[in-house]
Amino acid sequence: MVANTQLTISELIRSRYSDLTRKERKFADTLMANYPVAGLASITEVAANANISTPTVLRTAKKLGFKGFPGFQAALRKELKQTLANPIVKHERWANAAPEEHILNQFAIATMENLSSSLRQIDHHTFDKVSELLADENRKIAIVGGRLSHSVADYLATHLQVLRDDVTLLSSSPSRWPHHLLNLSKGDVLVLFDVRRYEANLSDLAKLAEQRGIKIVLFTDQWMSPVSTRAAHTLAVRIEVPSGWDSAVVTLFIVEALVAAVETHRWPQTRARMKDLEKLFDDTRRFLKKPE
């Protein structure tokens, strides 16, 4: 068995947004602003909240590939259940349905499908805008992750600190986050990693950052962290694999591609910084050298 690559409704909306009419886009925008909860009320309430008619809601659901509104809502409820899945439930689900093939093969197939599906969904214009933000030396960069995603946040911060000035990895202690916000101004950038199970502290931080005019770049999964409603740019990737844990492979792929893009944007300055850094490494004897 491999990971389920059926598109989520948020992915369907992003991929088909240009095909929607103005009124249908109002429904899509209202749903994405409070996803997926905004789509779980009655069709009458959903239409009223978006200031459109119920036939428009039904027509939009059909354009997204559903026979009717009940099927559309059933898909939303299934997504909501998946976002709340804990590692024990995930492992049991995979173990019960797993074929006899080796775990390496299962994991490789799932990961490659995640990468392929994610690349089809990511807007390269969004990627370019994020790389330009991270390369802009007039903006300070702060980076933060969650309980497990902090390691990917650390990885990104370490690379960006080589490429440019004013890059900070936020403390793992939420009580110190307001201290970091003091050093950020309007137009600066907060890069935030939040995948299921979404963390309340990260949502609170995003709210404070938004209030201060800080641009939020969000790395999340196919079910979309609540922070997406506050983010200037969102990079959503697929993370599900045959394991009790979600995978960071595709997220790391996008991070490394961004690092390469930022390096390209800033190569003259980056080259000089790298030469200085290598001299510091030599002076501190940080790395072993080949014997003469």
CATH number at residue 70: 1.10.10.10
Residue 124 has what pLDDT?
Answer: 92
Residues 48 and 136 both lie in one domain: no
- pLDDT of 167 strictly over 60: yes
- pLDDT of 197 strictly over 90: no
- pLDDT of 118 strictly over 50: yes
6 burial level (CB within 10 Å; 0-12, 13-18, 19+): exposed
Q: Which stretch of 106-110, 129-133, 167-171 has the lowest confidence by average pLDDT?
A: 106-110
- pLDDT of 99 strictly over 70: no
Residues 143 and 272 both lie in one domain: yes
Q: Is residue 3 very low, low, confident or very high in pLDDT (cuts 50, 70, 90)? A: very low
Residues 134 and 58 both lie in one domain: no
Q: Is residue 31 included in any domain, yes or no?
A: yes
Q: Is residue 150 included in any domain, yes or no?
A: yes
- pLDDT of 162 strictly over 60: yes
Look at the chain and count its residues.
292
DSSP label of 244: S
Q: With contact defined as beta carbons under 8 Å apart, do 124 and 15 qualify?
A: no
Last residue of a domain, one of 62, 83, 104: 83
Q: Is residue 182 included in any domain, yes or no?
A: yes
Q: Is residue 111 included in any domain, yes or no?
A: no
- pLDDT of 1 strictly over 70: no
Q: With contact defined as beta carbons under 8 Å apart, do 77 and 40 qualify?
A: yes
Listed residue (203, 14, 256) closest to 126, CA to CA: 14
Q: Is residue 109 included in any domain, yes or no?
A: no
Residues 183 and 275 both lie in one domain: yes
Residues 169 and 264 both lie in one domain: yes
Residues 156 and 237 both lie in one domain: yes
d(CA 112, CA 109) in angstroms, rounded, equals 5
Residues 65 and 132 both lie in one domain: no
- pLDDT of 219 strictly over 90: yes
Beta bridge partners of 216: 190
Residues 77 and 128 both lie in one domain: no
Mean pLDDT of 3-22: 82
Looking at the structure of the chain, the number of domains it has is 2
Q: What percent of the chain has pLDDT over 70?
A: 94
Residues 137 and 192 both lie in one domain: yes
Strand 141-144 relative to strand 167-169, pairing: parallel
| pTM as predicted | 0.77
d(CA 195, CA 198) in angstroms, rounded, equals 6
d(CA 157, CA 153) in angstroms, rounded, equals 6
Residues 226 and 170 both lie in one domain: yes
Residues 141 and 191 both lie in one domain: yes
**pLDDT tens profile 44-82:** 999 999 999 999 999 999 999 999 999 999 999 988 888
- pLDDT of 291 strictly over 70: no
Residues 59 and 124 both lie in one domain: no
- 215, containing H or E segment: strand 215-221
Q: Is residue 290 very low, low, confident or very high in pLDDT (cuts 50, 70, 90)? A: low
Q: Is residue 90 included in any domain, yes or no?
A: no
Q: Is residue 3 included in any domain, yes or no?
A: no
Residue 2 has what pLDDT?
Answer: 38
Residue 4 has what pLDDT?
Answer: 43
Helix, strand, or coil here: 292?
coil
- pLDDT of 144 strictly over 90: yes
Q: With contact defined as beta carbons under 8 Å apart, do 169 and 58 qualify?
A: no
> What CATH code is carried by the domain that includes residue 276?
3.40.50.10490
Residue 103 has what pLDDT?
Answer: 82
- Type of residue numbered 254: I
- pLDDT of 157 strictly over 80: yes
Residue numbers of the domain that contains 253:
120-281
Q: Is residue 110 included in any domain, yes or no?
A: no
Last residue of a domain, one of 38, 66, 83: 83
